Structure 1
C-alpha cells in the first residue's frame, strides 16, 4: 500500500485524495487552513459548467464536458444540493450574433447539448432577459461545492485516510535512492514537522507555482491572482432571474464577463468582474501583500497582458469601484436591475497561470517531478471537472512513479 501525501483541500485536491484512497492507497491530506475549501472552491458561484467555451480537444473541453455529468451524479449520490438549470448566453446586440454562432459551433464540437433560440424563445425561459438571440445550454447546473468537498473528505476518511487541517506544506525532498521515501516538510502550530511519503500530489491553488519550486519542480508559468467581486440581488429583484444568464464572451478579454446565477440554496449571484488582486489571498482592495505584488510585477507576462488589455482592464477596475457601473453591466442582460438591487457578497480570487509572453495559460496545466505531480493551473471549470481532473492526475502520478522506480 503506497502512502500518498496530497496537499490542498480544495475540490481538486480532495477529489484526487478520494480517488487514491478509493483504490487502496494510504492517503494523507495536508491543508494549511482550519477548514476545507477556504479559497477558490468555497468562494465561487457554484456553477456546474457544461464545457461550452473551451477549444475542442483541450483538457478543459474533454474533462469539463465529462465533469458536468460526473459532478452532478456525485452530488446526487451523496445528498449534496444540486440542480440542473440550463443557462442562456445572450446576444444583446446584432454585432454579437457572429460570436454567438461560433459558440454554438464549439458546443457542438465538444458534445455539449445546446441550441440557438430566438429572442421570443429566450424570453419563454427568462421572461425579463434582453436579447436579439441566445444560446440555450441545457446541461449547466448549480451545486454546493463546499458540501461536495465535505463528502469527498468523508470518502477519504472512510477509506482509512487522513484529512489534516492547520498543516501548512513547505516542501518535499526527493532522495537520490528511489527506494527511499520522499521527505515532506510542513508546519503545524508554528513548528516544522516532517513525514515520509511514497509519492506526492500538490494542488496548491493560489500558491501552486511557489510550492512546485519548493519541491524542485519548474511550474512553467507564474500564478497571478485575479479577484472576482460578487453581489447578490436583493430579494425584491431576485425574481427577475429564473436560472443562469451570461453575456456572449468578448474574445479580446480572457474572462466571461459579469453574469447572473441562481444559487442552489436560493438567491441570485451577480458577477464576478475580474481585477488584479494585490495579494494572492486578497479578497478586498485593501488586502495587499508586498511579496505577492513584487512577484507579479517582476513577471514580464503581467506587463504584456496589461498592455494588450488596457481598455477592458480599465473597465473592470471602474466597475469594481462603482456599484452603478456594475449594475449597468447586469442591466444589459436583464433590464431593471439598479445599483439599489445589489447587496455585497464575498469575493473570490482566481489563481491564473500566466506565461512569460503575457498569455494566460488557457488549459489545465500539470508539472511533475520524481514521484510527484503538481496541479499548476486549474481555474474554471476545474470545480466542475474535479472528479475527471483527479483521474487524470492519478494517471500522471502512476506514470512518473513508474519512471522513477525504473
Structure 2
C-alpha cells in the first residue's frame, strides 16, 4: 500500500521541477495534485466508488481516506448481510433501480472473487389480517419489477420454513446473503493493485476548497490535494459536507439496530421477514440465516446517543446535541413517538423483544436469543422531520456528497459506485482534465 507523503501548508506547493502558487485562481499543474479524485470513507460505497473510478477511467489517480484501521468498520460490516431483491422499493426510485441491477452484479462479483455468498430466497410473512393488503401490494410491486414472486398460504409457508407461522406469505427467489466486509476488502485490494492509495487511520479534520480543487487535512497533519472530493463518510457525511463549506440540507440522525443470534439456528432455514410498515424506512425484526450458517434476529431500531453509539452507554455529548438541535429530530418524535416507544421498550426488555420474534417464530424463547453486535444506521432527516427514503447525492464545486445511502446500499454498491464515479469524473473533466492524458508525476 502506498501512502501520500506528508505535505504541510496550503498556500504554496513545490513538486519536482514545478513550483506553483495555489491561491488567487492560479492554475495547478498535474504533478501538483496528490491525486485526481479523493474519496473520504472506506465503507462499501466509498470503496466501490474508488473501484469504479479506476475501471471506468484507467490511470485516474485515486486516494481513499478512512479514519478506522481497516475497511467496513461501521454500517457495511454491521448489518444482516442480505442481498436485497428490490421488492420493497418504489418503481423508478434510485433504490429500486440500483437494487434490481446491483443484486445480480454483486452475486457475480462474489462468485468471481470467491467471496462467501448464497442466493437463498426469502419469505415475507403476514401474521395479522390487517397486513394482507400490504402483502398483496408487495406482490404487485414485485411483478412490476419483474421479480420471481410466489404467493403462499399457511401450508406452503411450512414447506419452506416448518417452524414459521403466518396467515399468508410471498417468496422472493432472488434474495440472498453475502460477506459484505469481504466485498469491501476486495474493492480495496483492487484499488491498490491498480495503483490507487487506501489510507487507514486517516481521519479528516478540515477541507479547504479552492478554485483549483480541494485540500484535505487529516488528524496527523497530512494534507492531500485533489481535483475532486467525493464524500462517502456515511455516519459523518453531513459533517464532512459542512467542512467543505456546503449546506447539506439534512442532518444525520443515528438509529441503532440491535441484533441477537439464535442459539438454535436449525429453527430457521433461510430469510424470514414481516410485512414492513410503509411509514418507516425500517423493515422490522426479521430472521436471517447468514452465509456462515448462523441466524441473526433483528434489528430493533432505537435512537443512538452517538453516531457510533453501538450500545446505550456510548454517549458523545456534542453529537447528541447536534441531533437534538435539529428541528427534524423533534418532528420525528412528535409524529412517531408511539412507534419509537415500542422500539425502546423492546430494546430494554428481552421478553418484549422475544414476543415480537414469536409472531413469526412461535417456538423461540428468551434463552434462544444471545446478544450480537449492533449496527447504526445513518438516517438523513430533513428539517421538517421527513426521513429521506432514497439515495441522496448532491454536487458542489469540486465535490460530490453522498448524503444518504440507506439499505440497499450494500446490495447496490456496484451501480452506486459507478454513478458516483461518473459524477466525480464529470467534475474533474469540467476543469479540462482528461484521464490519463498526462502521465502521473509530469508537469504540463
TM-score by structure 2 length?
A: 0.87
Deviation at 1:102, TM superposition (A): 0.7
Deviation at 1:401, TM superposition (A): 3.4
- Work out which of the residue numbers 8, 20, 30 in structure 1 matches 2:53: 20
Equivalent runs, 1:6-405 vs 2, <5 Å: 6-22=39-55, 23-24=57-58, 25-176=60-211, 180-188=212-220, 192-234=221-263, 237-403=264-430
Deviation at 1:115, TM superposition (A): 2.1
How many residue pairs were aligned? 398
Render the CA deviation track for 1:92-143: whole Å, top value 9, x for unaligned: 1222110100111111222332222222112111111111110101111000
5+ residue gaps, structure 2, are 1-29, 434-444
Instruction: Specify the SS of the correspondent of 1:337.
Output: coil
Render the CA deviation track for 1:14-72: whole Å, top value 9, x for unaligned: 00011112232111111100111110001111100111111110100100111111111
Render the CA deviation track for 1:282-341: whole Å, top value 9, x for unaligned: 000000111111111111111111111111111000000011111111111011011110
Tell me which structure has the larger Cα radius of gyration: 2
| Preserved contact between residue 65 and residue 111 of structure 1 (Cα < 8 Å) | no
1 or 2, which has the higher helix percentage? Answer: 1
Change in 2 beyond 3 A, CA 1:404/1:212: farther
| Preserved contact between residue 228 and residue 427 of structure 2 (Cα < 8 Å) | no
Distance 2:247 2:423 in 1: 16
What is the Cα-based RMSD across aligned positions, in Å?
A: 1.4
Distance 2:431 2:392 in 1: 21
5+ residue gaps, structure 1, are none
Deviation at 1:404, TM superposition (A): 5.2
Distance 2:224 2:279 in 1: 47
Instruction: Specify the SS of the correspondent of 1:167.
Output: coil
| Preserved contact between residue 299 and residue 356 of structure 1 (Cα < 8 Å) | yes
Distance 2:227 2:323 in 1: 34
| Preserved contact between residue 67 and residue 386 of structure 1 (Cα < 8 Å) | yes
Report what 2:19 is aligned to: none
Distance 1:355 1:397 in 2: 25
Instruction: Specify the SS of the correspondent of 2:184.
Output: helix
Distance 2:153 2:47 in 1: 42
